[in-house]
Amino acid sequence: MAQMQTAIKTAPATEPLTTAEAKLHLRVTHSSDDTPIDELVAAARGIFERRTGRACISQTWYLYLDDWPATEIQLPYPPATAVTSIKYNDSAGAQQTWSDTEYDVDYASEPARIVCAYGESWPSARVESHSIVVEYICGWANAAAVPEDVRSALKMLVKQGYDQRDGIARGATERSIKAMTASAEAILSLYYTAEPINS
């Protein structure tokens, strides 16, 4: 298997829960805690992503390979929604862009996979560290597209963090949510993949 590494290019621009949705679940009517509540929502998303190996809300990643694989390139952090580009260093060390007419992306598989189009083969690339760079988008498109059970688990995590008032006073982080509720853990376990997210 070709050696691979990942790095995030663009973090999510939105969260899977709005401030209003989180406050409704928490039964909070004032605005003085809006900032820490938003931080808890982001922390809950981070927990979901790290525990399940999935991207929750649309974000852009780089996948680095040292060489082409034998048959396919698997894209970590499902669901993958678009491959932006595939670039590689040719035998002279110059970066080239692989034409998207020469490969296919199977988004129906999980994880999504890139394969050569019919009659095509991997282009000649120099074998070296990060010789091949796949840029792709993954995660559900917006909050409305996030499965409702995932949103419910995130609300549970937000409430757990919010109930720890000293954590709120210090500024909410993932450490503010010390242990998952059994219900949240049960939901998240349905979404586990083999690849932990490493952002």
Over the stretch 45-73, which tens digit does the pLDDT of each residue have? 999 999 999 999 999 999 999 999 999 99
For the chain, percent of residues with pLDDT exceeding 90: 77
Give the residue-averaged pLDDT of 172-185.
65
**pLDDT 10s digits, 4-38:** 899 999 999 999 999 999 999 999 999 999 999 99
Judging by DSSP bridges, how do beta strands 4-10 and 73-74 pair with one another?
A: unpaired
The Cα–Cα gap between 56 and 44 comes to: 10
On whether the CB atoms of residues 52 and 193 are closer than 8 A, the answer is: yes
Residue 61's beta-bridge partner residues? 8, 136
Instruction: Note the pLDDT of residue 197.
Output: 58
**pLDDT 10s digits, 138-168:** 999 999 999 999 999 999 999 988 887 554 4
* Apex 109 CA angle, 190 and 138, nearest 5: 75
